[in-house]
Amino acid sequence: MTDHHQSTRGKPRVALVTCSRLTDLDPDDRLVLAPLAARDVTVEAAVWDDPDVDWSSYDLIVLRSPWDYALRRDEFVTWAASVPALVNPADVVRWNTDKRYLAELSAAGVPTVPTSWVEPGESWQPPADTGEYVIKPAVSAGSQDTGRYDLADPEHRDLAVAHVRRLSTAGRTTMVQPYLSAVDTEGETALLYLAGPAGLAYSHAIRKGPMLTGPDHGPDGLYKAEEITARTARPDQLAVAERTLATVPGGTRQLLYARVDLIPGPDGDPILVELELTEPSLFLGYADGAPDRLATAITTHLALRA
């Protein structure tokens, strides 16, 4: 990494935005450094809440791993609106960092996980049925504060209530969703899209294994460990991803990247779990050429701002 005040004599300067716990970037993000250097782009890691960073000195500011924002979303959104040349842009950040966007996508006809919402201060009791449910905050990253509850188990029912109460007491909106059991066999499919000269285009896909093994007992790190393998996206998954992206406010031309996370529903058809437009892991190390495609996406957006 180069110093923030180094003169680059005409070279474009790009900041890869991270957090104080990942000052040297996530290992996957470091894979783009060499392709950008080969394109004569100076790249620097920059912590989003570091007051000493001169954001105006960069030609492009790329959100990558600011994964500590969830408990300070208002501060993060305000910061995003204050910095120039941000991708993805600040209005997308504001919309996408609160998962209540899922209700908008569902209303627009995108197949999404059925979700009920518990606002701070509202009381909540588990559904009468005895299926498995996922409880998580509407603002989160890295599956933090997320738990899986078997409502046939009285202890789990009590823990589910306690989880919602903990989030509510902290002033956080809670999401309650049925657990999609297909994740235990087929896993979750993440489809990655990167910008190119013709706009946002499909790049690659990965499979995530099941991560939620039981109730959540509070913070346990910046993100939960993931079991990742490469995957080839099926036509039905690509179709749902394209339908999802078509609903993005302002369109996809403004986006540097997008990640569409899908799990088979009860009938086997893919349904949307999350649309990640703010700080998604891009899993560059799981697809040939992906680091180069991200570098192309970055130089494409640099050219748009030249």
Active site annotation includes 73: no
pLDDT value, residue 277? 98
Catalytic choice (13, 157, 231, 293): 231
| Three-class secondary structure of residue 136 per DSSP | strand
Q: Cα torsion at 200, 241, 224, 255 (round to 10°)?
A: 20
If the chain, 306 residues long, is cut into consecutive pieces of 10 residues, what is the mean pLDDT of each piece? 45 97 97 98 98 98 96 96 97 97 97 95 87 93 83 93 93 94 94 95 95 68 75 98 97 97 96 97 98 98 92
Given the DSSP bridges, would you call strands 13-18 and 60-65 parallel, antiparallel or unpaired?
A: parallel
Catalytic choice (13, 64, 259, 293): 259
CB 31 within 8 A of CB 285: yes
Strand partners, 192: 204, 259
Burial class (CB in 10 A: 0-12, 13-18, 19+), 163: buried
Strand partners, 202: 193
Active site annotation includes 231: yes
Catalytic choice (186, 188, 276, 279): 276
pLDDT value, residue 5? 37
Rounded Cα distance between 306 and 304, Å, is 6
Q: What are the DSSP E strand ranges found in 108-160? A: 116-118, 132-137, 147-150
Rounded Cα distance between 211 and 220, Å, is 13
The reply to whether the predicted model has a pTM over 0.75 is yes
Q: What is the pLDDT of residues 8-31, one digit of tens each?
A: 458 999 999 999 999 999 999 999
Active site annotation includes 293: no
pLDDT value, residue 127? 86
